[in-house]
Amino acid sequence: MVSKAEPETGVRMTTDPHDSEITVLAAANGLTIPSEFRAGVRTNLELLRSYGALIEGLELPDRLEPAFRYEP
């Protein structure tokens, strides 16, 4: 699926839109994900996105603060 590489950016261009998306997202974080890792990464990303949809499906008050620190 890899059609060409652009060595000056490290971003690989692909013809598969999902693969392209992973390439772009990874590059934004300084990552290059080899083709042999892609299927596993995509499966996990899809799972995480399904959880993301659940999280965003709950309307929360604007003034509810995030609980980064644990305070029982």
Alpha-helical segments (H) within the chain: 17-28, 35-56
Stretch that binds another protein, among 1-9, 11-19, 28-36 (CB under 8 A): 28-36
- Residue 17 as a binder of another protein (CB under 8 A): the answer is no
Which residue in the block uniquely carries the two structure tokens 């772009």?
24
User: x-or-dash pattern for another protein, window 53-72, by CB under 8 A?
Assistant: -xxxxx-x---xxxxxxx-x
Taking the C-alpha atoms of residue 72 and residue 49, their distance in angstroms, rounded to an integer, is 29
Taking the C-alpha atoms of residue 24 and residue 17, their distance in angstroms, rounded to an integer, is 10
- Residue 45 as a binder of another protein (CB under 8 A): the answer is yes
In the bound complex, what is the minimum distance in angstroms from residue 9's beta carbon to another protein? Answer: 15
